[in-house]
Amino acid sequence: MIRAYVFDAYGTLFDVQSVSAVTDAAFPGHGEIITQVWRMKQLEYSWLCSLMGDYQDFWSVTRRALTYTLGILGLQPSEQLFDDIAEAYNCLTPYSDAAEALAGLSGVGRAILSNGSPTMLQALVGNSPLAPFIEDTISVDPKRCFKPDPRAYELVEERLGVKPGEVMFVSSNGFDIAGAKRFGFNVARISRVPQADLAAELAGSGPLSASAFYRALRTQEEALGYPPDIVVTSLSELAAPPTQGGGREPISVTPQ
């Protein structure tokens, strides 16, 4: 039975797209492309650092990804403006269903496992309405690697004292879902972008937007052979997903 729900932070509990208000205010007309490339490069740099054995914490990765993004667009912010844009990742907006979902899971452990550095997560969670519902916030920093490296997922048992089969890991990120499932967790995927809707958008005759390209790469299940155990469209479905008869019951997964 599940003893702990462990959530990814960026893109699962907190909306990474909410930085667009800051990026567009800083460079009007460029907000969308900055937001999407910045996030994709942020993740790419985390994987590169892990593969190269050259660990840099997520704050450094985030700032380097922003440097890359603004550089390819030929944008030259002042040092203060650059710092203000980067700070947006410490002030992300929680998804509207996050607080309700976490509150509904009272009685089991609720934690975050994130690539974020300890300082980033302290700011992100501490300044949000989700803080009262999170018992532990775990950064990958002690392992000096990023998800989906298996060493990052080891931190859950080390910190919470639960076996992988007793964990329901929750994420909307395909790479994280595959990594967590490969590690041995039970995995719930938050599917906020229906595949059929995305396919229709990508098949349209108009030009492909930066946000559509991002959704195509980062919001769908990876074809790596590690599917999630359950798929829900909202975090609030975790505590009591619909049953075939129309009622609601808590999730129970038998460890494999």
Sheet holding 167-171, edge to edge: 136-139, 109-114, 4-7, 167-171, 186-190, 230-232
Residue in 217, 237, 192, 196 with CA at minimum distance from that of residue 102: 237
What six digits make up the tokens of 34? Answer: 């900055």
Task: Tell me the C-alpha distance between 177 and 171, whole Å.
Answer: 6
- What are the φ and ψ backbone dihedral angles of 119, each rounded to 5 degrees? -65, -40
Rg (CA), the chain: 18
Q: Which of 8, 57, 149, 176 is catalytic?
A: 8
136 part of the active site:
no
- Give the residue numbers annotated as catalytic, written as ranges: 8
